């Protein structure tokens, strides 16, 4: 699920993206509604050139409703055609065909003036790993469509899925690397489980999550674990106190009777990722 990125992988992903982009009219970019900037590929704008753009805030069911609309507006103001979607249960998917088509209006108009009529617009889905690309494609495509198969003149092996008489979708998404040069973005990606856990110190990560939650969502911690959260929790040491409380509540006790904070850390991260601490947005529009 989580891809390890090396320079070679990134170069290959970039090359594939550049190749595929030549074939399409519109890019459907998925980001995670909980971290819309941190889950955005840093180079996508350069790669996209002048293609039409749709930006979908996926997993909005896990994000704070208070910020969902703000983020939607943020991207609309930047010129994206945008929607909040839940690819898992299909919420918001119905509107996507119209949005994709609308994003291509200028291109369709240009075609019309050149005498090209009724040519379907071609789209591809892109995003970093785990953002929900495959789930989205399944939901978007549904059952009722047939693959159009390889077409002459198109790079061998590409499969286009006909979504309507107006839209065709490349069946495989473009996988792009996340923003790992920025440590804060890297941490948010780790919070939601989009970075390989092998390379993360989970207890440290949980302490960072506690600092964030105690500041913006203190009740999420209080309600889930029935514990006390000190006001103005600022130091890692205070965070350890919270982990100790979680450990005690969940009966994670070491042989000597000490609370097992490493186990509590794993529980917290796991439950957070599964949405058990409620709807949380991890970064906010300016």
Window 111-140: contact mask with ligand GDP (x via CB under 6 A): ----------------x-xxxxxxx-----
Q: Is 86 in the site for ligand GDP (CB under 6 A)?
A: yes
Q: Is 179 in the site for ligand GDP (CB under 6 A)?
A: no
* 58 carries a ligand binding annotation: yes
Q: Is 102 in the site for ligand GDP (CB under 6 A)?
A: no
Q: How far is CA 50 from CA 30, 107, 219, 270, in A?
A: 18, 11, 45, 40
Of 120 and 127, CB closest to ligand GDP: 127
* 156 carries a ligand binding annotation: no
Of 47 and 192, CB closest to ligand GDP: 192
Q: Is 39 in the site for ligand GDP (CB under 6 A)?
A: no
Binding span for ligand GDP by CB under 6 A among 7-15, 54-62, 95-103, 233-241: 54-62
From the CB of 127, what's the least distance to ligand GDP, in Å? Answer: 6
Q: Is 87 in the site for ligand GDP (CB under 6 A)?
A: yes
Question: Where along the sequence are the contacts to ligand GDP (CB under 6 A)?
Answer: 58-59, 61-62, 86-88, 127, 129-135
Q: Known binding site for GTP: residues?
A: 58-61, 86-87, 130-135, 174
């Amino acid at each position: 699920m989580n891809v390890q990125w090396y320079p070679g992988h990134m170069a290959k992903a970039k090359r594939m993206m550049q190749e595929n982009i030549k074939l399409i009219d519109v890019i459907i970019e998925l980001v995670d509604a909980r971290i819309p900037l941190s889950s955005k590929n840093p180079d996508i704008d350069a790669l996209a050139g002048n293609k039409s753009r749709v930006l979908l805030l996926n997993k909005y069911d896990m994000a704070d409703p208070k910020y969902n609309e703000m983020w939607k507006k943020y991207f609309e103001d930047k010129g994206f055609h945008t929607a909040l979607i839940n690819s898992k249960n299909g919420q918001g998917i119905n509107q996507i065909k119209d949005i994709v088509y609308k994003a291509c209006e200028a291109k369709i108009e240009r075609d019309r003036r050149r005498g090209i009529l009724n040519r379907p617009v071609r789209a591809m889905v892109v995003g970093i790993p785990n953002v929900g690309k495959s789930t989205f494609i399944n939901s978007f495509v549904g059952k009722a469509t047939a693959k159009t198969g390889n077409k002459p003149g198109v790079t061998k092996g590409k499969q286009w899925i006909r979504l309507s008489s107006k839209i065709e979708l490349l069946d495989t998404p473009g996988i792009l690397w996340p923003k790992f040069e920025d440590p804060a973005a890297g941490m948010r990606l780790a919070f939601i489980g989009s970075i390989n856990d092998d390379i993360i110190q989970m207890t440290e990560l949980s302490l960072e999550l506690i600092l964030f939650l105690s500041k913006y969502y203190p009740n999420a911690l209080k309600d889930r674990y029935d514990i006390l959260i000190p006001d103005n929790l600022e130091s890692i040491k205070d965070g350890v106190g919270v982990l100790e409380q979680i450990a005690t509540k969940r009966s994670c006790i070491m042989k000597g009777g000490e609370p097992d904070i490493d186990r509590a850390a794993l529980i917290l991260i796991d439950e957070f990722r599964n949405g058990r601490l409620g709807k949380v947005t991890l970064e906010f529009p300016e």
